[in-house]
């Protein structure tokens, strides 16, 4: 196929609204772009003039899927600006809550949003007829993670116990111990998840890029660390602006980003490539079982890296609960005094590194806010992947080409917008 | 296994997008009321598929959400998922966080799914901001009444959708 034109409007099974336009003439790409049709975000402007105590609550509302990460990152930025260091207990509880969000988000993506591609069905509902038990297993594991979110975060959606300084309420030791047993009991289902994904074969495609994630000498970095580039070393989160170079493109209302190369990747595969040796041993075994080898330059394997991280987060949660129980859990209080300052929070969200920067005045009012979300950072890399992928698959049938393209975009788990959700309905009898 | 007595009321929407957050504002109001003991209320925010976890062991689920029915702002429409011919989000169709009916369809995979009712409120303004429009503020008592009536009334059959048009009512400040 020397000539090929495709305009995929509103890619399904991604969060938000994106189009893909690809125009190939005589085997050469004339035009390729991923259009983002969401309105620009004005959340940063909404934070200005607000109290430093309010801003985490506001940012938690940007996205219900990644509410824990947004809240945690916002809190870290404020604490950094005020020069406050939280207790070990608070950090462990934040890590536990973050694990719950990772498991929930990854399970949703791999079971509900990407698995239907492998069965050539349009949505997860197409899988129910022949694979109902698989879908129900995905729902059970997702519920398990969401219950952990409720136990630590105070409720299932938009956590309320996460505060600047410490948690407003700590989970009871008995409840944590009981939850530990639930994870242990779920291990067979977690292993069945691994077995299921062994049967799904991702397309073969490789393009090496720059991989950026947090890194931490003490652990597989999700909650905290310095910024690591696979190409040229580490950067302090305070200097994130030197690493993440945002730029505008005419076809997207979301900013694109580059670093050393003309694009880079964030997310599970970037974290695996940068920090795989620090994964829990069981997660490393699962990576081997699923054919994920370091370094991996196949972006489709981001799905597999998410399964591997799910195992890591389950096992890490058991360790965190053990540490919390052995140290004893106390109700904590933290006194913070507002003062002029600047703080940057950098946290790994399920989809990649999230940055919040805040400046505060002496009255505790926000005078500057900048939020950089993972998907914005991945957009340029998705386009570069597509430019590399498409010429090599033009011999395929048109529907198969489109499937390969859509699967590539979905592999990044893009969150183009969690903001707009208004339903428009037409009724049966109208 | 369903809890045969439990009704779950979930308000959904984005509090940062004015009238889009109507469902959450209603939950905040309901929190001030005394409700029957077998009723649980939740701020569902933009939880998307996380909402399924709140619904699985209920006998009945009532959603409150901003829904564009092309009627006048403040109009309340009570319906079931079967009543809907087509549904798409404001900027066309998308699964995941955006589409409440996809969340509902997912729960209906379960062997013994709950009865699900949606109270849709026609928004006036979907834009950045945390305040409701005056028209939706005025509709709040009627929305609360609609929820409370449903908590007392037994069943809403498909095809029996109810429309309460508040927009004709002029309220003086």
Chain A positions in Cβ-Cβ contact with residue B82 (cut-off 8 Å): 428
Query: Residue A122: its pLDDT value, please?
Result: 79
CB contact under 8 A, B94 and A12: yes
pLDDT interval class at B112 (50, 70, 90): confident
Whether domain B7-164 has CATH 3.40.50.1450: the reply is yes
Q: Token pair for residue A49? A: 């003039």
What would the mean pLDDT of B46-68 be, rounded to a whole number?
A: 90
**How high is the pLDDT of residue A421?**
41
Q: Where are the domains of chain B?
A: 7-164
- Closest-approach residue (CA) in chain B for A157: B47
Measured between CA atoms, the residue of chain B closest to residue A123 is B95
Which range (A291-305, B45-59, B151-165) has the least confidence?
Answer: B151-165
pLDDT for residue B90: 40
**Environment class of residue A373 by beta-carbon count within 10 Å: exposed (0-12), middle (13-18) or buried (19+)?**
buried
Number of Cβ pairs < 8 A linking chain A and chain B: 187
Bridge partner list, B145: none
pLDDT bracket for residue B97 (50, 70, 90): very low
B79 close contact with A: CB closer than 8 A:
yes
Cβ within 8 Å of residue A307, ≥6 positions away? A106, A110, A193, A194, A197, A286, A290
Is A65 within 8 Å of B48 when comparing Cβ atoms? yes
* Contact yes or no for A64 and B45 at CB 8 A: yes
Share of chain B above pLDDT 70, in %: 77
- Tell whether A399 is covered by a domain: no
Proportion of chain A above pLDDT 90, given as a percent = 70
C-alpha span between A76 and A355 (Å, rounded): 10
Tell me how far the alpha carbon of residue A74 is from its chain's centroid. Answer: 16
- Dihedral angle, C-alpha A148, A150, A152, A158, nearest 10 °: 120
- Give the dihedral sign, CA B138/B142/B144/B146: negative
Query: Please, which residues 90-119 of chain B have a Cβ atom closer than 8 Å to chain A?
Result: 90-102, 105-106, 109-110
What confidence category does residue B156 fall into, taking pLDDT thresholds of 50, 70 and 90? low
What DSSP line would sit under A312-378, residue for residue? HHHHHHHHHHHHHHHH------------SEEEEEEEEETTEEEEEEEEE-TTSBEEEEEEE-HHHHH
Considering the domain boundaries, does residue A274 fall inside one?
Answer: yes
Of residues A305, A307, A303, A314, the one with CA closest to residue A280: A314
Provide the number of structural domains found in chain A: 1
Q: Closest partner residue to B14 among A155, A421, A424, by Cβ?
A: A421
pLDDT at B3 exceeding the cut of 70: no
Give A134-173 pLDDT, tens digit per residue: 999 999 999 999 999 999 999 988 899 999 999 999 999 9
- Taking an 8 Å cut-off on Cβ atoms, the answer to whether A139 and B106 are in contact is yes
B120 CB neighbours in chain A (<8 A) are: 423, 425
> Does the pLDDT at position A419 exceed 50?
no
How close, in Å, is residue B9 to chain A by CA atoms?
14
Q: Is A46 on the interface with B (CB under 8 A)?
A: yes
Q: Indicate whether A403 belongs to any domain.
A: no
Average pLDDT, chain A: 90
Q: Could you report the predicted ipTM of this complex, rounded to two decimals?
A: 0.82
Which residues neighbour B10 within 8 Å (Cβ) at sequence distance 6 or greater? B23, B27, B41, B42, B44, B51, B54, B55, B61, B62, B63, B64
A414: closest chain B residue by CA = B96
Distance separating alpha carbons of residues A39 and B126, to the nearest angstrom:
12
DSSP code for A108: I
Mutate: best of B58, B96, B119, B133, partner A, most A CBs <10 A: B96
- Say yes or no: A419 contacts chain B, CB-CB below 8 A: yes
DSSP β-bridge partners for residue A426? B86
- Using alpha carbons, list the distances in angstroms from residue A272 to A212, A221, A275, B36, B93: 10, 10, 5, 50, 33
Contact B84, B101 (CB under 8 A): yes
Average pLDDT of span B25-51: 92
Mean pLDDT of A20-45: 78
In Å, how far from its chain's centre is CA A25?
36
Find where tokens 């993670």 sit.
Answer: A145
Does A425 contact B67 at a Cβ distance shorter than 8 Å? yes
Question: What local confidence, expressed as pLDDT, does residue B172 receive?
Answer: 38
Give the integer Cα–Cα distance in Å for B115 and B108: 9
Predicted local distance difference test score (pLDDT) of residue B173: 33
Structure tokens at B17: 């997008």
A417, pLDDT greater than 60? no
Highest mean pLDDT among A32-46, A193-207, B103-117 belongs to: A193-207
- Of residues A331 and A42, the one with the higher pLDDT is A331
Q: How large a percentage of chain B has pLDDT more than 90?
A: 46
Interface touch A142/B88, C-beta < 8 Å: no
Interface probe, candidates B27, B45, B121, chain A, greatest A C-beta count within 10 A:
B45
pLDDT digits (tens, 9 = 90+) for A127-145: 888 899 999 999 999 999 9
Which of A31-45, A284-298, B57-71 is predicted with the least confidence, judged by mean pLDDT?
A: A31-45
Q: Per residue in A64-118, pLDDT tens? A: 788 999 999 999 999 999 999 999 999 999 999 999 999 999 999 999 989 999 9
Nearest-angstrom CA–CA distance, A248 and A256: 6
Question: What CATH number corresponds to the domain at position A373?
Answer: 1.10.645.10
B163 at interface of A, judged by CB pairs closer than 8 A? no
Q: Show residues of chain B in contact with A425, CB under 8 Å.
A: 67-69, 79, 84-87, 120
Tell me: the pLDDT tens digits for A262-290? 999 999 999 999 999 999 999 999 999 99
The answer to whether B56 faces chain A, any CB pair under 8 Å, is: yes
- Which pLDDT score is estimated for A82? 96
Strands (E), A197-328: 210-215, 226-229, 233-235, 245-247, 256-258, 264-265
Span B77-97, average pLDDT = 58
Contact: B89, A423; criterion CB under 8 Å? yes
Q: Which of A389, A203, A402 is nearest to A303 (CA)?
A: A203
Kindly tell me if the per-residue pLDDT of A425 is higher than 80.
no
The reported pLDDT for the residue numbered A426 is 59
Peptide bond into A145 cis (omega under 30): no
């Amino acid at each position: 196929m020397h000539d090929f034109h495709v305009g995929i409007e509103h890619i399904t099974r991604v969060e938000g609204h994106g189009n893909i336009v690809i125009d190939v003439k005589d085997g050469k790409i004339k035009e390729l772009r991923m259009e983002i049709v969401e309105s620009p975000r004005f959340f940063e402007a909404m934070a200005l003039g607000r109290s430093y105590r309010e801003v985490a609550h506001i940012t938690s509302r940007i996205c219900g899927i990644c509410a824990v990460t947004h809240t945690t990152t916002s809190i870290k930025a404020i604490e950094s600006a005020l020069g406050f260091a939280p207790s070990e207990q608070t950090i462990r509880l934040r890590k536990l809550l973050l694990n719950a969000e990772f498991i929930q988000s990854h399970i949703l993506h791999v079971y509900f949003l990407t698995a239907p591609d492998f069965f050539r069905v349009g949505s997860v509902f197409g899988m129910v007829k022949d694979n109902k038990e698989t879908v129900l297993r995905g729902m059970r594991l997702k519920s398990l993670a969401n219950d952990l979110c409720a136990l630590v975060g105070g409720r299932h959606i938009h956590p309320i116990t996460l505060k600047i300084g410490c948690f407003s309420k700590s989970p009871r030791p008995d409840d944590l111990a009981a939850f530990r047993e639930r994870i242990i009991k779920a291990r067979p289902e977690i292993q069945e998840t691994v077995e299921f994904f062994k049967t799904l074969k991702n397309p073969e495609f490789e393009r090496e890029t720059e991989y950026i994630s947090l890194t931490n000498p003490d652990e597989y970095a999700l909650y905290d660390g310095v910024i690591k580039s696979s190409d040229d070393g580490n950067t302090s989160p305070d200097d994130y602006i030197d690493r993440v170079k945002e730029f505008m493109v005419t076809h997207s209302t979301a900013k694109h980003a580059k670093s050393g190369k003309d694009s880079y990747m964030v997310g599970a595969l970037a974290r695996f490539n940068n920090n795989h040796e620090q994964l829990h041993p069981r997660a490393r075994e699962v990576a081997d079982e699923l054919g994920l080898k370091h370094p991996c330059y196949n972006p489709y394997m981001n799905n597999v890296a998410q399964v591997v991280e799910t195992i890591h987060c389950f096992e890490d949660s058991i360790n965190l609960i053990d540490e919390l129980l052995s140290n004893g859990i106390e109700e904590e209080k933290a006194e913070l005094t507002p003062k002029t300052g600047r703080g940057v929070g950098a946290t790994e969200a399920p989809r990649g590194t999230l940055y919040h920067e805040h400046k505060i005045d002496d009255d505790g009012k926000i005078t500057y806010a900048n939020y950089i979300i993972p998907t914005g950072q991945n957009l340029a890399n998705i386009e570069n992947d597509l430019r590399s992928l498409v010429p090599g698959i033009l011999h395929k049938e048109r529907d198969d080409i489109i499937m390969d393209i859509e699967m590539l975009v979905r592999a990044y788990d893009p969150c183009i917008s969690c903001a707009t959700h208004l339903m428009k309905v037409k009724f049966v009898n109208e | 296994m369903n809890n045969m007595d439990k009704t779950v009321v979930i308000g959904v929407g984005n509090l940062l997008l004015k009238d889009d957050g109507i469902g959450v504002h209603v939950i905040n109001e309901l929190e001030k009321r005394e409700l029957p003991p077998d009723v649980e209320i939740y701020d569902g925010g933009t939880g998307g598929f996380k909402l399924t976890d709140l619904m699985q062991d209920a006998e009945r689920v009532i959603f409150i959400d901003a829904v564009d029915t092309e009627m006048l702002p403040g109009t309340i429409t009570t319906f079931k998922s079967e009543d809907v011919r087509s549904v798409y989000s404001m900027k066309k169709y998308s699964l995941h966080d955006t589409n409440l009916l996809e969340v509902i369809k997912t729960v209906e995979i379960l062997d013994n799914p709950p009865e699900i009712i949606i109270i849709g409120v026609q928004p006036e303004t979907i834009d950045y901001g945390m305040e409701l429009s005056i028209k939706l503020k005025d509709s709040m008592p009627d929305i609360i009444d609609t929820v409370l009536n449903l908590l007392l009334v037994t069943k809403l059959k498909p095809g029996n959708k109810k429309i309460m048009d508040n927009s004709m009512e002029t309220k003086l400040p």
